[in-house]
Structure 1
Amino acid sequence: MQKKNEVKLDVLNLISNGRLGITYERFLNNDFSVGITGMFLNKSSKKDNFLTDNTRTLIDYQIIPYVRYALSKSAVNLYYLEAFTSINGGQYKELVTLNNGVADYVVTSVKDYNDLAIGASAGYKFYIKESFVVDITIGMGKNLFHAESPKDISRLGINLGYRF
């Protein structure tokens, strides 16, 4: 297969989480490829609900560079393993107890965070007419630096794209 580039849109995260995910992948040879995914939250309702729901963090963005190793060598479908990093940021909230001199009261404090995660994924992709791709990825990473950021970063996606 002479085509060495792919662009993909993550439809799973767009529909379920309101995150726009776009990926570019470059094939180095039959075994390895490298790529980068950008994911951005694009629904203001998610941010509005964040103040009142029971989640502790809201991921606003992720930039995910990765390297993949193909476990199968078929031109129309393949399994792969992936190592990735995730530069991610967003908001975290915590309940803070304050005292106004008469009584204690609780407020929600929202702050920004930025972190770096490393992780691994596995996936499967298949091609239709050697150009249209469906790419399914599942994996997990760990944030390394800040207690305010989520400990775990998931790498889930169903991507539809085009190979050229």
Structure 2
Amino acid sequence: MKKKLFLPVLLFSAILFAQEKQNKYPQDTGKTQEIKIDAFSLIVFSSFDVTYERLVNKDSSYGVSLFYNFNTIDSDLYFPKKFSLTPFYRWFFTETRFARGFFVEGFGMLNTFEEEVYSFDSFDTNGNFETVKETDFAIGISVGGKFIIKSGFVAEISIGVGRNIFGNTADGFLENELVTRGGISLGYRF
């Protein structure tokens, strides 16, 4: 009698446990896309950085980020990177959760730098200074963490570095060999 009762109780417990585990993360059910804005860049640098990310499976995702710096060269908070378009691919280290937790990212970055440099050859309205722009493509890596609450809101922190591979410098003035990537982003999974 005990053996006959043990098997149905064990089966019923396994089904309940599986349902509890399945419903533990309702924000993962059928949601494979995220949109995020880098709050750190927006507040500190007055720069706009928006990211779209598509979840492939529980271990990986891919996406693209668009960055634009609204500051002018004469601003105190001017950061020389003016624009970047960054496709990326991420690998997550969690086994039971869908594309969340700590990750490593590989990225490529089309970037434009803009600086005011001293000019020996030409004079403009600023005297001996001229604005020089440089566009290049970088390859790099980032690390970070993504955290999601049950309602689907996402918080992410990341940091990374890459190296420009073409070394296109306008008249040899700019030396932007390294690029940075990172921030504190807030968004929503849908």
Common topology (TM > 0.5): yes
- The alignment's TM-score, normalised by the length of structure 1, stands at 0.83
Deviations 1:40-72 (A, max 9, x none): 1123xx33337xx9x8x7211110100000111
Distance 1:24 1:98, change over 3 A: closer
Higher relative contact order (CA 8 A, sep 6+): 1
Considering fraction of residues, name the structure with more helix.
2
Q: How far apart, in 1, do the equivalents of 2:147 and 2:92 lie?
A: 12
Partner-residue secondary structure (3-state), 1:47:
coil
**Structure 1 match to 2:92:** 70
Q: How far apart, in 2, do the equivalents of 1:99 and 1:92 lie?
A: 16
Structure 1 runs not aligned, ≥5 long: 101-105
- The alignment's TM-score, normalised by the length of structure 2, stands at 0.72
How many residue pairs get matched? 153
**Structure 1 match to 2:13:** none
Identity of aligned residues (%): 30
- Which portions of structure 1, spanning 4 or more consecutive aligned residues, are displaced by more than 4 angstroms? none
Structure 2 runs not aligned, ≥5 long: 1-27
Residue identity in the other structure for 1:73: E
**Structure 1 match to 2:82:** 60
Q: How far apart, in 1, do the equivalents of 2:67 and 2:107 lie?
A: 14
**Structure 2 match to 1:103:** none
Distance 1:63 1:143, change over 3 A: same
Aligned runs of 1:70-149 on 2, under 5 Å?
70-75=92-97, 77-97=100-120, 107-129=128-150, 131-145=152-166, 146-147=168-169, 148=174
